[in-house]
A = this chain, B = another copy of it.
C-alpha cells in the first residue's frame, strides 16, 4: 500500500508528524519513506509493507497530510504501474526530460579509446543538436584476458570533452560500487561539465548488491539493462531493487536475448516487448539495437538492421535508443563490427526522429473515435 502525501508538505509540519505516528502504530506493518523529486515539486510517499491486505484505507485517507492511498500488487511496488494512473512518472536530469512519452538517442562509443575518437563523436553529436551520448569506461568482458576498459583514468578528459560540446548526459556502465564514487569525483574535479546516467549491464542485472549500492546513491539516473537468462518479470523485479533503495529514476533497456532462434543476429531482438514494459511499469523504455543485432549488415533495401530494429522500437513507443558509433570501427577496442559509421549518423538520427514522430501519428489513429 502506498500513502501519497500532499505535494511539498514539510517534514517538520504537525500534519506530517500526525501521519507518521498513525502509520507507525499499525500492527505488523513496516513503513518505508520514499521521496520523489519532480521538476516542480517534491512528493513524499510512504510504503506500507507486511500485512496490508487487512488495513482499512479510510482512516489513512482521512489524515490531513494524505492526498490519497494506492493499493499495489506484490511486484514492482515502486516502479510498477498500479491502479492509480495519476502517480508521478518520468524525471528530469541535468536539464533533460525522460518519460514514457518522449524519445532520446544516445549514440556514442561502446568503449572509450582515444581522445581523438571521443572528440570526433561528440563534435558530430553537437552538430546535429544532440545532448546525450554513450561512453563506456568500465567494460565487463567475457574473457579475463581481454581489454577491460580505460576505467577511471579516462573520466576527466571524457567529461571535459562532453562539456566542451554541450553534452548533458553521458550513459556509462558501472560494474562495481566504487565506480560511482570515481565518476562523482571526476565530475566534481572537472566542475560538473556534464551529467552521467549510470548503466547496469546485462551481466549484472541480478547482481543485487551492486543494484542496492546504485539505488542508494539517488543522484544519478540509471539505465537498467534486461538480463539475458531470466524472464522479463525477473528483470523487472531486479530493477525494483534500485527503487527500493531510493533511486526510482530508472530507464529499462531491452537489448536482445540469447537464443539459437536469433541467428544470424547476435541475439534475438526483443523489442516486441516495448509495449509490455510500459504496460507493467512506469519506467521509460530504451532499446539497444547494436547489441541486439550485433552486425553492420543491411537488408535488400540497403537499410542497416541496426536502423530497422531501432525504428521498430520507437514506433511501438520506446523512449530511448542506445547505439554504437565509431569513427574507425576496425580500430574499436570492443564490439567494432556492430558500430555504425560517422557518415551514417545524420541519416540514423533523421530516421529515429521520424520514427518517434510516426509513433505520435499512430497514437492519433488509435485515440480517434472509431
Interface residues, chain A, with chain B CB atoms under 8 Å away:
49, 74-75, 77, 81, 100, 140-145, 175-176, 202-204, 206-210, 227-234, 237-238, 240-241, 244, 257-261, 263-265, 268-276, 278-279, 292-293, 297-303, 305, 307-309, 311-313, 315-317, 343-344, 346-347, 350-351, 354-355, 358, 361-363, 365-368, 370
Instruction: Give the residue of B74, B145, B206, B299 whose beta carbon is less than 8 angstroms from that of A49.
Output: B145
Q: Which residue of B lies closest to A312 (CB)?
A: B312
A353's nearest neighbour on chain B, judged by CB, is B365
- CB closest chain-B residue, reference A141: B208
Q: Given the known inter-chain contacts A74-B145, A206-B203, A297-B279, please indicate yes or no for A351 contacting B367, CB distance below 8 A.
A: no
- Contact between A361 and B354, CB atoms less than 8 A apart: yes
Query: Which residues of chain B have C-beta atoms less than 8 A from A358's C-beta?
Result: 315, 354-355, 358, 361
Q: Which residue of B lies closest to A368 (CB)?
A: B347
Interchain residue pairs A-B with the least CB separation, the first 8: A229-B229, A269-B272, A275-B299, A203-B206, A228-B229, A312-B312, A176-B209, A308-B316
In the complex, besides A303-B363, A307-B362, 14 extra interface pairs with C-beta distance below 8 angstroms are A144-B240, A175-B208, A207-B207, A229-B257, A264-B276, A269-B272, A272-B308, A299-B317, A307-B366, A308-B316, A309-B316, A347-B365, A351-B362, A354-B362
Give 5 pairs: A residue, B residue, CB < 8 Å, sorted on A.
Answer: A175-B207, A176-B209, A257-B259, A259-B261, A311-B362
Q: Is the CB of B343 within 8 A of A365?
A: no
A210 touches which one: B207, B241, B275, B370 (CB < 8 A)? Answer: B207
Docked-complex contact A276 and B299, CB < 8 angstroms: yes
List of B residues within 8 angstroms of A143 by Cβ: 74-75, 237, 240
Residue among A232, A271, A279, A312 with most chain B CB within 10 A: A312
A278 touches B261 (CB 8 A): no
* Closest chain B CB from A353 CB (angstroms): 10
- A290 to B344 alpha-carbon distance, docked (Å): 35
Residue of B nearest to A244 (CB): B144
Name the one of B232, B261, B302, B350 contacting A232, with C-beta atoms under 8 angstroms: B261
Chain B residues whose CB sits within 8 angstroms of the CB of A261 once the complex forms: 228, 231-232, 257, 259, 268, 270
Q: Which B residues are in CB contact (< 8 Å) with A298?
A: 275, 279
Query: Are A305 and B276 touching (Cβ within 8 A)?
Result: yes
* A8 to B244 CA separation, bound complex (whole angstroms): 53
Q: Which residues of B contact A362 (CB under 8 A)?
A: 303, 307, 311, 351, 354-355
